[in-house]
Amino acid sequence: MFLASDEEIRSYIDLNTETVQIIEDAFTSLVTKNVEMPPIMRVDIPAHNGEVDVKTAYVKGLDYFAIKVSSGFFDNYKLGLPSGNGLMMLLNSQTGQPESLLLDNGYLTDIRTAAAGAVVAKHFAKEDARIAGVIGTGSQARYQIKAIAQVRKIERVLVYGRKEENIQRYIDDMEVDLGIKVEAVRAEEAVRGSDILVTTTPSTSPVIKADWLHSGLHITAMGSDAESKQELESEILEQVDVLACDRKEQSQVLGELRHATSQQEMLDKAVEIGEVTSGDKQGRKTAEQITLCDLTGTGVQDTAIAIYAYELLQEEKAGLVVKQ
């Protein structure tokens, strides 16, 4: 059994063109290859404001597949702990034997989620997008903007959050990390003023109003990944010119598509990212279109990033091998 610690994984794996490409290929495989991806397993622990998801996907022909456990316990800040956590394991596709445990404390989930944001921006945001807006100031609010900066020349960031101190910390950190201007704005301004907007909150009622949309805007909605969550007014699904999601069967249960007034119509309208990355369908067609992509997070991303991390760490011999 190959074990890798959080530190080891963080020293070798990052958000970069390589990990973005790996996640793009994973989306493509979802529509071009034989993939078994069962529904997400979920445990809710309301007493501690906690939730645990288990995701998996087997891509036919690959030597391994991942089972990923990720948790979000939103009272952890009271204990001085991060809300997110988790680990990934790889099983051998031929024998079922556990091959590797990646004790990443949720880091690889952050990377593969951010990488999905980059893939989406690449195919759906307009070519000359320069201003990125972000709703939320947490971990993914940072990663998603860094991801967009991988594929578009971002010159300014507009951020909206609820807590003053979190906003200021976000601005300080991101101005250093990206070397560009980051401004605190109201939610409406973040939408009206940006070319690409990312929503990253666990909100249970819409934060973004349909009235605020404008020509050329792309929205990536990655906050909602559970029945109770919703970041966008449902009219937005109808108003956008291009509606996309990572996986229809997840989005209609856990994502923004769940809240569509006419769900079947929206499912018919929607394309999956993999249909676009594979070249089957087109993402954005003109600079004027309004586009939206809803991300719920897929097991095939976990399998892709876990195999990449395992193989890289093996090469680097950075893992701690525990003989069983």
Active site residues: 68
Please give the Cα distance from 96 to 90 (Å, whole number).
9
CB closer to a second copy out of 1 and 312: 1
CB closer to a second copy out of 140 and 220: 140
Task: Outline where 224-289 has alpha helix (H).
Answer: 235-239, 248-254, 263-269, 273-277
DSSP-assigned beta bridge partners for residue 41 = 54
Query: Least CB distance from residue 78 to a second copy, whole Å?
Result: 10
- DSSP strand pairing (320-321 vs 2-5): antiparallel
CB closer to a second copy out of 194 and 296: 296
Query: Least CB distance from residue 319 to a second copy, whole Å?
Result: 12
Please give the Cα distance from 75 to 141 (Å, whole number).
19
> In this structure, are residues 216 and 125 in contact, taking their beta carbons and an 8 Å threshold?
no
CA 151 and chain centroid, separation: 15
What would the two tokens of residue 13 be?
Answer: 């794996």
CB closer to a second copy out of 21 and 32: 32
What would the two tokens of residue 302 be?
Answer: 């976990």
Query: Least CB distance from residue 104 to a second copy, whole Å?
Result: 10
CB closer to a second copy out of 52 and 185: 52
Q: Which residues contact a second copy (rule: CB under 8 A)?
A: 1, 3, 5-7, 36, 38-39, 41-45, 47-48, 50-52, 54, 56, 58, 60, 65, 67, 69, 71-73, 76, 79, 81, 85-87, 89, 91, 93-98, 101, 103, 105, 320, 322, 324
Closest CA to 231 of 201, 198, 193: 201
Place of tokens 């680097």: 316
Indicate the burial class of 310 (C-beta count within 10 angstroms; 0-12, 13-18, 19 or more).
buried
Closest CA to 218 of 147, 135, 139, 132: 132
Query: Least CB distance from residue 229 to a second copy, whole Å?
Result: 17
Query: Least CB distance from residue 253 to a second copy, whole Å?
Result: 13
